[in-house]
Structure 1
Amino acid sequence: MGNITFKMFFLLTALLGYNFAMAQTGAPHTLRGESQVASVSLNWKSPAEAKTMQWHNDTPYNGVSGVSLNGEIPVLYIANRFDKNDLKEYKGSVIDAISFCNYSAVLEVSLLLYENDKVVREQKVNLENLKLKEMQTIKLDEPYTVRDDVELTVAAKFVHGTNLTFVGIMDRVPGVTGKGDLYSYDGKNWKNVVKGNFLVSAHIDIPAAGEPDGYNVYRGDTKVNTALLTEKATLLKDEPKGTYDYCVSAVYGDKEEKSFPLSLTNTSVEDARPIAVDVRTVVNGLNATLNWKSPILADKTLTWSNGEKGKAMGGTSGTVRKIWAVNAFSSDELASYADHKITAINVMLNSAVTEMRLVILENSKIVYSQQVPAEEIAALEVHKWAKIALTTPYVIDPSAELSYGYYVVHAADLFPGLLDSGPAISGACFISTSTAKPDFDTTVPSWTNIEAAANANWMLSADVEAQSEIKTPVVKDYTVYRDGVEVKSGITGLTYTEELAPGTYTYTVVANYVDGLSSKASASATAMVELPAEYVRPTFTETDFDKGKLSLKWDVYTDLPMELKHYGEPKYKWGMTNDGKDVDLYVGAQFTKEELALYADYEITGVNLYLTDDVKELKVVLCSANKKILASKTATSIKTGEMFSVAFDEPVAVPVGSSIYVGYFALFADGKEPIAADAGPRVTGGDMLSLDGTTWVAYSRIDAEFNSNFVVGAQVRLKGSQKAATTTLRKTAPVNNQMVPLESMSGRSFSDLKSATAFGVNGVVATRATDNKPTIKNFRVYCNGSLATETENPEYTATLNYGKYEYAVSAVYTNGWESALSDTYTVEYKQPNLAPAPYGLSGTLENKNLTLTWQSPEAANEMNYQDKTSGSKAIGLTRSSGVYGYFVIAYDADDLVDQVGKYITHIKYSLSDVYLQTSAIAVFYDRNLVYEQEVDVKTLVAGENVVRLDKPVVIPAGHEVCVGYYVSHINGVKPNMTDEGPAVDGKGNLITTDGTTWRTLKSMNKDLDYNWRISAVLQDADKQAVTRAEEPATTYNLYIDGTLLKEGIQATNYTVENAADGSYTVTAVVGGVETAASNAVIVGVPTGIDKVEDGSAKAYYDSQLQKVVLPEVGTAYIYSVSGTLIKQVMNVEFVDMSDLPAGVYVVRGVLASGEQMIKVLK
């Protein structure tokens, strides 16, 4: 790219909502541009347009969604960021509004402004009356004045259901990395999406201005246009060398208003130097190698092709088969072709065509086309070069991107576009199958790089002539940059290698010339360096979970490689001769009982090997010392030139007290060399051969000069592991996309092997020296993807609330490198599926006597539309590949006014068939999925199923609430049950298969006028003193702070004399089965604990999340107001209280900085 100060693309559309009574004069704004080889392109916005700060082009194209952290509702932040230099134009301006793309109906939106990393504005958006799939502009309650001494971030925060995917919306232009493409899940740790810029922008409050008569462009104080410009973009040619301030003025009669200046540095045509091309990286272990090709220097032929014929491509769809084939060159690649012209295009085709046009494009726009006459097309010969002269030679513009090639129409099943033999030059050749417009030159084809599909280049070139005497520049050397920082200069070759720590790195190359000038940076290449195999991940050795108590222990077997092997990197290829007949033999390695002693708890899962050439048959084997085949497997997929693995059908325990042979059987042609060996030295046991897989001989006993090891080993893992341990399988480092050839090693006659094995000679095994192993500093424990704690001890304990948890551990080594995560240990801690609780518990406290009353569970509120007295219908959907979907009932916010604050504790759904694959219960707010709980299909019955929510869901104010269930099943099953109607259409009969597109059952078929048999059971919010009476249930139990106070109560009321402070709940015992607990009645008689000063505590209670937030990680103790310890949670920053009944609690946090206490009224 050129020298671009502020790379921004705008759809020039004024934001709505800013109308003014009188138009005034104003300056153009948002001036953007770049300089490219003596040419300067500029674009700007009119004074009449809204002035905004943004990196996007206002056009929605793609989207991302938030993630659920620790089971909470997903949150996503998107942002555009502006550094101090970006803000100079806006210093002193006032941001009075923020715009964002309101694409999906989310739960909440907040708008934020950050100075550096500190939030200085945050405003929640009223979502009523906002339009979907459009940019929305929200006035700030408190405008913000822009400073240029901070970094400013403009952000939007979305809270949404797990069913939504298009939430944070981006455009489709390349992301302005680190500025326009920022997203986060917590508003603190930002990531880059790269592929686009997010649609969020700040609106600048400026006086209204009218459209000007036109525009003038200035370079410094010099006006460069002769006539008044009416467009809001211009291209200046032949600009002088140097750095200049450009500005644009709006002309109103005899008055001009100038824009903020834009500084650009221009390079003259004479000083422009071509860049290095085809920059690529190869990673081998910790070594990253950068390879590139020399710059394109002016020549009579301009091409990417190597001239050797390869495969071909053609159009494959449409009634008219056609392709466009072009070679593409950036202006930086063509820097030495200034003052040159293309006189002819040379084409080699693979098959006949019926129509042909030559095309030349500048910056993806057709600037020249020439139809080839029919007689010339008929004369074209396949696989031979055809030179087609241009009617008008094309003068190369050194400031433009150039593409040239052809457009052809051809018959079906033909492939006229001939390719060379490869490999492809990166980003060089493109294909399109777009249909040409009647006005051919207005066609804008959609291009695809052919590299991924063909790894080759077009057999296509251009004849070029210089228009004046040209002095070709000479390359002196190269400078390599990593992540924008110079790492090596004075490189005279075309490659550079360095050792790196694990991570992702971006390289560029600058070509330096003997005249002292240098090129711009090349196109970038990325190297991903992975952690070496010796940085072993932890393995869980003990996992225990019981009644909320979790205990994990692990170890790191740093001294045990995850592969039994004697070999190093492949170096040689080896084979045997057999008088013209195929060779069939076993190649392997032996491991002694001493070497296997440390692997007593391991099992062998397969064999790793490397073949250098094709074989006719391949089978892997594992053999014991007593000549017993322990496992074997015939390979169905055979690879050459790289390490690959063949797994046994079942793992085999490593034998204790015995040696083993690991190897493979290969059948190959006489004289071939498919066996790979390393560079040595030979390790005893590393060069074993056999004729039958049971009797083995060391090849060095046959050929005394053999000093290598065969590349074959066993893959191992801990017994009971879910997957094989990680093994580093390296490919031989490629050069220019071709494998480095291995050296041939002379083999012996097959008869020599037969003679040796007749004696049953076995080699003596020696133990290989142990390499220095890295040292572990500590461990990191992750829960649900978030860091839970760091510890030096290989163990972790925690007290868990109900929910689903996934734990994994990594090892952090003394050099700061972190290993891969261990296998995941999953905990699903579910509440017992108890029946609905007694309803409406209330109490009256008089003279310390507490009188409690309640109702039977049958009296509980239910949300449902079904007619429980009618008969039932069985309904099933059909799909081509299985059926799945959510089946729900909906209540508008107005329907729920009297239920706000109550909790959904159970969901009931009736099924006519339980032949299901999966099922779950679900709750939606405003069609956002906020709660989903899997249901074990083995527990479901035909008829009504009652499922208790692990975490009750509150009825919120101002939101629609949908409740229901999810099922998946095969075609033909009709599990969903309805009443006999009539339907409460749009409420009692909703369906969605993708979570976003909603239909009613009746809309699918007007005769299906029914309601789903779905109910949601509600429980009152906890209360202080409301009395209600009802008929008694069977018997009832009374609890205080979870401790049984009285059981077997017959009536639906009870008086507690001298009632202690605490939280009182009631359960029902129906048919001998105890139900869930009712809502709580709280008695808050003052105690000494009330003296805790909430205001001075740094910890606080978040009533919405039902969590106590500690200022740092520590241990938390939760007490009832009567002083009873209820819960202890270690190594936490958040204390979940959602599983506790309503009441008064005291939370004591033991922190590194001291102790804190906070009183919580829940």
Structure 2
Amino acid sequence: MGNITFKMFFLLTALLGYNFAMAQTGAPHTLRGESQVASVSLNWKSPAEAKTMQWHNDTPYNGVSGVSLNGEIPVLYIANRFDKDDLKEYKGSVIDAISFCNYSAVLEVSLLLYENDKVVREQKVNLENLKLKEMQTIKLDEPYTVRDDVELTVAAKFVHGTNLTFVGIMDRVPGVTGKGDLYSYDGKNWKNVVKGNFLVSAHIDIPAAGEPDGYNVYRGDTKVNTALLTEKTALLKDEPKGTYDYCVSAVYGDKEEKSFPLSLTNIPVEDARPIAVDVRAAVNGLNATLSWKSPILADKTLTWSNGEKGKAMGGTSGTVRKIWAVNAFSSDELASYADHKITAINVMLNSAVTEMRLVILENSKIVYSQQVSAEEIAALEVHKWAKMALTTPYVIDPSAELSYGYYVVHAADLFPGLLDSGPAISGACFISTSTAKSDFDTTVPSWTNIEAAANANWMLSADVEAQSEIKTPVVKDYTVYRDGVEVKSGITGLTYTEELAPGTYTYTVVANYTDGLSSKASASATATVELPAEYVRPTFTETDFDKGKLSLKWDVYTDLPMELKHYGEPKYKWGMTNDGKDVDLYVGAQFTKEELALYADYEITGVNLYLTDDVKELKVVLCSANKKILASKTATSIKTGEMFSVAFDEPVAVPVGSSIYVGYFVLFADGKEPIAADAGPRVTGGDMLSLDGTTWVAYSRIDAEFNSNFVVGAQVRLKGSQKAATTTLRKTAPVNNQMVPLERMSGRSFSDLKSATAFGVNGVVATRATDNKPTIKNFRVYCNGSLATETEDPEYTATLNYGKYEYAVSAVYTNGWESALSDTYTVEYKQPNLAPAPYGLSGTLENKNLTLTWQSPEAANEMNYQDKTSGSKAIGLTRSSGVYGYFVIAYDADDLVDQVGKYITHIKYSLSDVYLQTSAIAVFYDRNLVYEQEVDVKTLVAGENVVRLDKPVVIPAGHEVCVGYYVSHINGVKPNMTDEGPAVDGKGNLITTDGTTWRTLKSMNKDLDYNWRISAVLQDADKQAVTRAEEPATTYNLYIDGTLLKEGIQATNYTVENAADGSYTVTAVVGGVETAASNAVIVGVPTSIDKVEDGSVKAYYDSQLQKVVLPEVGTAYIYSVSGTLIKQVMNVEFVDMSDLPAGVYVVRGVLTSGEQMIKVLK
């Protein structure tokens, strides 16, 4: 027996050792790379590292939050998406966990996996013990096996309070558009954030593996490295032309395990062709114009500068200041500079410097630097080129990004970095103010593109020499791609224009050469086409709300423009000469009393205009026919190259029976052409000029050949509207995009205008023909941001429950385009601020006789920590710019075990001073703001204030609940009232000013050992917290389904004989004032579904969420058991019933597949 045991021991040892060795090996994974001009760069992860599916870099940087739809608690989904090609590497792998960044303490987190658009895994996360501001990995209850025949989305869903802003966290690298940067508010309609990738990933279940001895890289079956690699990166030079599968193997002794292959296409240096540069998109109405510059072809000088001196830049901080200035080139831009070397860097400075180095960077790392001697620095002359030869010429690597330039140190108030006259080449020139390290070449500056700040390029160039005979390629034409699809080829010029539907489009350009080769795609440019002005939004004409009944009517004034104007699209730029002196004049348009007759109910809010060049001063004006200035406003922000608006401080009613002049005063340099004009033909009043803003002349009387209209008009809106009707102007060239070039129009001398004005001449011209106007198909009504209904009729009615509603309407035109939304109509349907209801209603049904018993309102259960028998203290905070904050009391989940399922119906808070700016009541779950209700400060009193919640808030299981109030006020006011303590610290004395950072009153000052005078009143409580003596004058009213059944009951019990089915409630009448209704007692409880036969999936009631869930989108009607329609909601998948009191309801769902009906006991 002992021998057998001994042998088995060795056998087991051998087997276990074998298994252990097997478990220690593994293949590299997550192989990524690119091929750039015959150079292949690869990076991968070790077999010992976790294998994940993600687009982010694991580093949190920024965040977004969810939005509240239809008054619900905000929800946010974030996701990384993988298409079929992405999934080939992972096919058959098992996702056993999902990771996300748990940055903020939210209410709920769920993890989801989607196949295409269908949820195939959804798992709620237990938030206990999770760390904040860190990645958290959650094991899936049901692992998922990856397929490569679907699109897979890995997502995290957050439910959070409105006080949280950093919920869905992203990194700071450019987003992998449509894959790493996805977010949604409903888990169905996804958007792109673009500026980063969200931190959510799928973890792949792989056997544990140890670190390998090293790595080998294979091109197909050929190993390309000679020595074993120890780093997880590889750079392969001079790779052969063609498409190859690259893989990496992990080496364990004499064994190798290979990664999933990565397919790359190599282009040799001789076949690489430079790309088009400075690609920009501009928009003019529905026309998008793409422009670009020719590729950089090998030359003796490499530069972005035009050689004309402009402004200058310098360091901004410290007594000793410094800047780095570089020209930057991508490898694709430098494709024709293979086998070239930089021999000198040429610099032109604007001021003296004390220290200087020449620098060259490859892929943002310094690869060459050269100290400039003190003698050379002393010899530098400002505004003159200085040639600085490189001690060692730098050979250009065509596979690397190249930057060259200088680093200088200079005195304060100097600006040594000289710029050219512009305009800037997109993404070409960069500046940094980083301090250089003592080991200079290890410095990693933080770069900023100078385009936005200066719109110019550095006065900086490099001398370049070819090292062999070079044949310069010749461009044949260009091909334009929109959203990755070819739209036009054979373009021989440097622009392309096309008409588009409203939307956002991404363009690239490919340069084609005479030798049959083509470049890679250029850098992209984005064009956003906005809805044309003729697609007018609706305007509410009648709005009525009374006792829950809403009625809206609207019209679309397609024949009545929301802008007074004579102009069309800008076409010309125009100016005047004035013998070297500045020109100051008024440019405008006249509108006759006949033209204004239709606008009797309108008011003018501002002026729309277009400038083509910089001006020194701008002011908009409105002048009456009797030479009176009705309104004026100096512009503080002046834009060029696009339509913009300047609003008056107060709107001006459109005058009846009189004409007006709308225009602007402009001051500009002699010879400038800042004024825009359209293509014509000229209309009466479209070309007005003035010297003083009151006496106007038509420019056509000065220049008979002038046949255009100045681009200037008036914003108008219906009187009483909240926003101007032209809230969103159609831009003709968005900011940061190149302006569509306007043609020059010859102007006259300023003296000609002075002479003409003296005579007061004017002219008559023909009226422009009316354009064809689009036709409306139907309207969309939105409530709280969600679609409520679509209708062909310009009206809408609804029955509303208590709450806040925001309605807006859009017009949908026959081509499918949707107008902007109308002004918002807001309804705040508040419950009467009734006193707390009778408490603890219960009933016993015997032989159809219902015996009801209850307690007086004074017996209601309250949540509070205050000592009501003590005196009170007045507390006020101070801030430099006014005081605001939430003052709350907190109850842990354990404190509320006996209260779960009950409702907070009233919040009481005591104030010592009511000199407030704003106030509200608030409820938090786990420090997430879930309910906030404004309180009219005029109704507040010094002492206790009792506020009824419009929508009672339930006490949830497993969550902390905070209740309290918000106030804002000026310094010096002390509105907050406390007891005299001692404080229940951390519960009775909480404060937050930003909604996320919490303190206690005692932590601010140990002597402030008090509790806030705050209470929350609960409905249907089992235990009483505070009981006070009953008022002797109290009587009670009994209701069934809201209808009075018995009035003036003296006792706290009553028997209803032969009780009908329904919902019974009781109110108290105290001193002649009726309270809110008690909880309900239900008679005749129907729990089964009466009719659910039209669909295979049935509607059901989720008692926890208090929602009826429909099997598909439809319209839902909620009735009381007596048949009264209580609520109607359209285009929904669920019906929220949390705002309804306890009782019996019938919910009827009208669906595409038929009707379903369900009875609900709530």
Superposition TM-score tier, normalisation by shorter sequence: over 0.9
> What is the distance in 2 between the residues matched to 1:1158 and 1:199?
42
* Deviations 1:1019-1061, CA, capped at 9 Å, x for gaps: 1279999999999871111111111111111111111111111
Structure 2 CA distance for partners of 1:712 and 1:12, relative to 1, 3 Å = farther
Distance 1:950 1:280 in 2: 53
Q: 1:346 to 1:1076 in 2, by over 3 A?
A: same
| Partners of 1:928 and 1:497 in 2: CA distance | 50
How far apart are 1:468 and its partner, in Å? Answer: 1.5
Cα pair 1:914 1:937 within 8 Å, conserved: yes
Percent identity for Structure 1 against Structure 2 = 98
- Per the alignment, do residues 126 and 753 of structure 1 end up closer, same or farther by CA in structure 2, a change over 3 Å counting? closer
Closer/same/farther in 2, CA of residues 349 and 581 from structure 1, 3 Å limit: closer
Deviation at 1:83, TM superposition (A): 1.1
Once the two structures are TM-superposed, the CA of residue 974 in structure 1 deviates from its matched residue by 1.2
CA distance in 2, matches of 1:741, 1:272: 33
Deviations 1:344-389 (A, max 9, x none): 2112222222211211111111111122222222222222222222
CA distance in 2, matches of 1:962, 1:1051: 36
Paired residues of 1:12 and 1:45 also in contact (CA < 8 A)? no
State whether residues 599 and 654 of structure 2, in contact with CA within 8 Å, keep that contact through their aligned partners in structure 1.
Answer: yes
* CA displacement, residues 1095-1126 of structure 1 (integer Å, 9 cap, x when unaligned): 97733333344333445565544333344554
Cα distance, 1:504–1:634 mapped onto 2, change above 3 Å: closer
- Following superposition, the deviation at residue 236 of structure 1 comes to 1.0
Instruction: Deviation per CA, 1:81-106: give whole Å up to 9, x if none.
Output: 11111111111111111111112111
Cα deviation for residue 789 of structure 1 reads: 1.4
Per-residue Cα deviation, 1:365-414 (whole angstroms, up to 9, x for no partner): 11111222222222222222222222222111111111111111112222
Q: Would the alpha carbon gap of residues 32 and 746 (structure 1) be closer, same or farther in structure 2, given more than 3 Å must change?
A: closer
Check conservation: 1:91, 1:147, Cα contact below 8 A.
yes
Whether contact under 8 Å (1:5, 1:34) holds in the other structure is no
Q: CA 1:122/1:1153 → structure 2, altered by over 3 Å: closer, same or farther?
A: closer
| Post-superposition offset of 1:519 | 0.6
Distance 2:19 2:419 in 1: 59
Do 1:53 and 1:202's aligned partners in 2 also have CA atoms closer than 8 Å?
Answer: yes
Structure 1 pair 1089/1045, CA: closer, same or farther in 2 (3 Å)? farther
Question: Secondary structure of the residue that 1:10 maps to in structure 2?
Answer: helix
TM-score by length of 1: 0.92
Q: Distance in 2 between matches of 1:5 and 1:177?
A: 63
The answer as to whether partners of 2:530 and 2:731 remain within 8 angstroms in 1 is no
Deviations 1:855-905 (A, max 9, x none): 111111111111111111111111122211111111111111111111111
Q: Is the 8 A contact 1:875 1:975 kept in 2?
A: yes
Structure-1 separation of matches of 2:1133 and 2:820: 25
Q: Distance in 2 between matches of 1:476 and 1:2?
A: 89
Aligned to 1:287: 287
More displaced stretch, 384-393 vs 889-898: 384-393
Q: Please give the secondary structure, in 2, of the residue aligned with 1:1059.
A: coil
Moved more, 951-960 or 314-323: 314-323
SS in 1 for 2:299: coil
Shift of 1:1154: 3.7
**Are the aligned partners of 1:916 and 1:967 in contact in 2 as well (CA < 8 Å)?**
yes
* Distance of aligned partners of 1:253 and 1:71 in 2 relative to their CA distance in 1, 3 Å threshold: same
CA contact (8 A) 1:901 1:1021 kept: no
- Please report how far the alpha carbon of residue 300 of structure 1 lies from its aligned counterpart in structure 2 after TM superposition: 1.4
Determine the C-alpha separation between the residues in 1 that align with 2:1011 and 2:1023.
Answer: 34
Change (3 A) 1:440 1:1090: same
Aligned to 1:65: 65
Between the aligned partners of 2:1087 and 2:260, the Cα distance in structure 1 is 67
Is the 8 Å Cα contact of residues 1095 and 1154 (structure 2) preserved in structure 1? no
Where 1:1017 maps in the other structure, the secondary structure is strand
8 A Cα contact 2:280 2:738, kept in partner:
no
Unaligned 5+ runs, structure 2: none
Deviation at 1:595, TM superposition (A): 3.1
1:967 shift after superposition: 1.2
> Aligned with 1:948: secondary structure?
strand
How far apart, CA to CA, are the structure 2 residues paired with 1:577 and 1:8? 107
Question: Does the CA contact (< 8 Å) of 2:1087 and 2:1160 recur in 1?
Answer: no
> CA 1:226 to 1:1125, structure 2 compared with 1: closer, same or farther past 3 Å?
closer
Aligned equivalents of 1:6 and 1:289: distance in 2? Answer: 85
CA distance 1:1113–1:198, shift in 2 (3 Å):
closer
Give the 3-state SS of the residue equivalent to 1:1063 in structure 2. strand
CA distance in 1, matches of 2:601, 2:559: 14
CA contact (8 A) 1:892 1:959 kept: yes
Residues 97 and 143 in structure 2, CA contact (< 8 A), matched pair in contact too: yes
Quote the offset at 1:680 in angstroms: 3.4
* 1: CA distance, partners of 2:227 / 2:210: 21
- The residue aligned with 2:786 is 786
Q: Which moved more, 1:1138-1147 or 1:98-107?
A: 1138-1147
- Whether contact under 8 Å (2:1094, 2:1156) holds in the other structure is no
| Cα distance between partner residues in 2 of 1:748 and 1:129 | 78
User: Scaled by the length of structure 2, what TM-score is found?
Assistant: 0.92
- Larger deviation, residues 663-672 vs 2-11: 2-11
How far 1:320 sits from its partner (Å)? Answer: 3.2
Q: Which moved more, 1:674-683 or 1:823-832?
A: 674-683
Could you list the per-position Cα deviations for residues 984-1007 of structure 1 after superposition, in whole angstroms to 9, with x for gaps in the alignment? Answer: 111111111111111111111111
8 Å CA contact retained: 1:1033, 1:1052? no
584-593 or 939-948: which moved more?
A: 584-593
Structure 1: segments with no counterpart, 5+ residues: none
CA distance in structure 2 between the partners assigned to 1:1020 and 1:757 by the alignment? 82
1:314-370 per-residue CA deviation (whole Å, 9 max, x = no partner) reads 111135311111111111111111111112211222222221121111111111112
Q: Secondary structure at the match of 1:18?
A: helix
Q: Distance in 2 between matches of 1:987 and 1:858?
A: 24
Larger displacement relative to structure 2 (696-705 or 485-494): 696-705
Do the aligned partners of residues 154 and 1022 (structure 1) sit closer, same or farther apart at CA in structure 2, a change above 3 Å counting? farther
| SS in structure 2 of the partner of residue 1090 of structure 1 | coil
For 1:365 and 1:310, the matched residues in 2 are separated by: 29
Cα deviations by residue, 1:431-450 (Å, 9 ceiling, x for unpaired): 11111112111111111111
CA distance in 1, matches of 2:953, 2:841: 19
Q: Check 1:47–1:1138 CA distance in 2 against 1; reply closer, same or farther (3 A cut).
A: closer
Moved more, 145-154 or 1029-1038: 1029-1038
CA shift for structure 1 position 599: 2.6
Give the secondary structure class of the aligned counterpart of 2:540: strand
Per-residue deviation, 1:745 = 6.6
The verdict on how the C-alpha distance between 1:843 and 1:657 changes in structure 2, with shifts beyond 3 A counting, is same
SS at match of 1:22: helix
Question: For structure 1, which segment, 1147-1156 or 527-536, has the greater mean C-alpha deviation from structure 2 after superposition?
Answer: 1147-1156
RMSD, aligned α-carbons: 6.7
Paired residues of 1:275 and 1:520 also in contact (CA < 8 A): yes
Q: 1:309 to 1:13 in 2, by over 3 A?
A: farther
Change (3 A) 1:1138 1:274: same
Identify if the C-alpha distance between structure 1 residues 512 and 14 changes in structure 2 by more than 3 Å, giving closer, same or farther: farther
Q: Deviations for 1:568-614, whole angstroms, at most 9, x for unmatched residues?
A: 34556778899999999876544444433433332334444567789
Show the counterpart of 1:597.
597
Residue 709 of structure 1 and its aligned partner are, at CA, apart by 3.9
Secondary structure of the residue that 1:141 maps to in structure 2? strand
d(CA) in 2 for partners of 1:654, 1:664 = 18
TM-superposed CA distance for 1:566, in Å, is 2.8
The residue aligned with 2:719 is 719
The answer to which of 93-102 and 654-663 deviates more is: 654-663
Q: Distance in 2 between matches of 1:603 and 1:704?
A: 34
Taking the aligned partners of 1:512 and 1:1132, their CA distance within structure 2 comes to: 53
Verify the 8 A CA contact 2:79 2:180 in the aligned structure 1.
Answer: yes
Q: Does the 8 Å CA contact 1:1099/1:1156 hold for their aligned counterparts?
A: yes
Distance 2:420 2:8 in 1: 38
Q: Is the 8 A contact 2:696 2:757 kept in 1?
A: yes
User: Distance in 2 between the 1:812 and 1:191 partners?
Assistant: 22
Structure 1 residues 744 and 11: alpha-carbon distance in aligned structure 2, compared to 1, 3 A threshold: farther
Give the match's secondary structure for 1:1026.
Answer: coil
Q: Which moved more, 1:194-203 or 1:1104-1113?
A: 1104-1113
Counterpart position of 2:125: 125
Equivalent position SS for 2:296: coil
What is aligned with 1:561? 561
Per the TM alignment, residue 310 of structure 1 is displaced from its structure 2 partner at its CA by 1.5
Distance 1:259 1:662 in 2: 71
Shift in Å, 1:422: 1.2
Cα distance change on mapping 1:433 and 1:9 into 2, 3 Å: farther
